């Protein structure tokens, strides 16, 4: 679906990306992680056809992005890390404006906007985007990236700076998009989110790819990892209590995901979500230190 071969990107004399070979498979979620300045955002921009490589080739759907980017972009949705909205437009006006840029028929746009706002649990369609919370603004930006029903999504820090429950909702939403057949590439700093949602993980350092493998292989090679969830809410028999908070410690991501949905649906408070002996965190720390 996406193929990078020998890709390098120089900004003046600074090598943002060096000799990068990377494949994104159809229907998978690939996560790209690394320190600030590792080359993640530049790599995503080259995949989206927004930046041209200094050398090497970037192919999307079998087409060279250096020559055929315009023919590919209608199949691709891109979400930058910072995504300002037109704050004097309502949510509905904003999305309709972009539907016109995509030359979508009015009835198709209406149906698509309603579907996206419903699935993202964003009911404030007649509110000015400038009056929305940061989490709601991010949801509007995601709806914009999905508006034309692209086959490929390139997302730079989709849950950056959001509260824990909104962040979890967004990454969990990505799993539903994968189930619809979407191919997704994302960057993220939150390693729990990466472990929870990604099929494979690419780790970059100083513009180079160090590791790209499935989460199953990463876990197999590094053994046990555990997470801790602290929350307050209704009566939850069977959960340990510490300092007035319920506590769950488990290595089962599915168990954590189920609990977070319960917390969100009941309006309870998520106090903390942390990793203990995370396989991905361990390998990341060792590679960054090497």
Instruction: Answer whether residue 178 is part of any domain.
Output: yes
Largest CA distance in the chain: 61
Contact 137, 160 (CB under 8 A): no
CATH of the domain at 183: 3.40.50.300
Instruction: Answer whether residue 12 is part of any domain.
Output: yes
* Measured distance CA(14)–CA(91) in Å, rounded: 39
What is the tally of structural domains in the chain?
1
Instruction: Answer whether residue 52 is part of any domain.
Output: yes
Residues in the chain: 290
* Domain housing 154: 2-75+150-222
Instruction: Answer whether residue 176 is part of any domain.
Output: yes
Instruction: Answer whether residue 24 is part of any domain.
Output: yes
Instruction: Answer whether residue 132 is part of any domain.
Output: no
| Bridge partners for 147 per DSSP | none
* Measured distance CA(195)–CA(98) in Å, rounded: 33
Both structure tokens of 253: 């991501």
Instruction: Answer whether residue 216 is part of any domain.
Output: yes
| Bridge partners for 104 per DSSP | none
pTM, rounded to two decimals: 0.79
Instruction: Answer whether residue 242 is part of any domain.
Output: no
Q: In what order do the strands lie in the sheet with 55-60?
A: 14-24, 2-11, 55-60, 63-64
Q: C-alpha 18: how far from its chain's center? A: 23
Segment 82-102, tens digit of pLDDT = 888 999 999 999 999 999 999
Segment 208-235, tens digit of pLDDT = 998 899 877 876 665 566 788 999 887 7
Per-residue pLDDT of the chain (290 residues), as tens digits, is: 999 999 999 999 899 999 999 999 999 999 999 888 999 999 999 999 999 999 999 999 999 998 888 889 889 999 999 888 999 999 999 999 999 999 999 999 999 999 999 999 888 899 999 999 988 999 999 999 999 999 999 999 998 777 878 888 888 899 999 999 999 999 988 777 888 899 999 989 999 998 899 877 876 665 566 788 999 887 777 788 888 889 998 878 888 888 898 898 888 999 888 876 555 666 777 777 76
């Amino acid at each position: 679906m996406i193929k990078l071969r020998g890709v390098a990107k120089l900004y003046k004399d600074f090598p943002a990306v060096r000799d990068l070979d990377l494949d994104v498979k159809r229907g998978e979620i690939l996560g790209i992680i690394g320190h600030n300045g590792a080359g993640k955002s530049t790599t995503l921009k080259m995949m989206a056809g927004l930046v041209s490589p200094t050398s090497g080739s970037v192919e999307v759907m079998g087409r060279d992005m250096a020559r055929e980017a315009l023919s590919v972009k209608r199949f691709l949705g891109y979400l930058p890390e910072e995504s300002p909205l037109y704050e004097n437009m309502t949510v509905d006006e904003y999305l309709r404006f972009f539907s016109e840029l995509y030359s979508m028929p009015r009835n198709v746009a209406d149906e698509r906007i309603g579907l996206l706002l419903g699935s993202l649990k964003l009911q404030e369609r007649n509110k000015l985007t400038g009056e929305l919370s940061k989490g709601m603004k991010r949801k509007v930006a995601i709806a914009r990236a999905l508006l034309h029903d692209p086959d490929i999504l390139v997302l730079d820090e989709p849950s950056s700076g959001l509260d824990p429950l909104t962040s979890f909702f967004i990454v969990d939403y990505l799993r539903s998009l994968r189930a619809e057949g979407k191919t997704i590439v994302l960057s993220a700093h939150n390693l729990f989110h990466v472990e929870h949602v990604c099929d494979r993980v690419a780790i970059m350092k100083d513009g180079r790819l160090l590791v790209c493998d499935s989460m199953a292989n990463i876990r197999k090679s590094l053994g046990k990892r555990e997470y801790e969830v602290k929350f307050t809410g209704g009566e939850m028999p069977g959960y340990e209590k510490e300092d007035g908070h319920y506590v769950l410690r488990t290595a089962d991501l599915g168990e954590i995901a189920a609990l977070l949905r319960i917390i969100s649906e009941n309006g309870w408070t998520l106090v903390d979500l942390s990793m203990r002996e995370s396989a991905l965190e361990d390998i990341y720390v060792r590679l960054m230190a090497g």
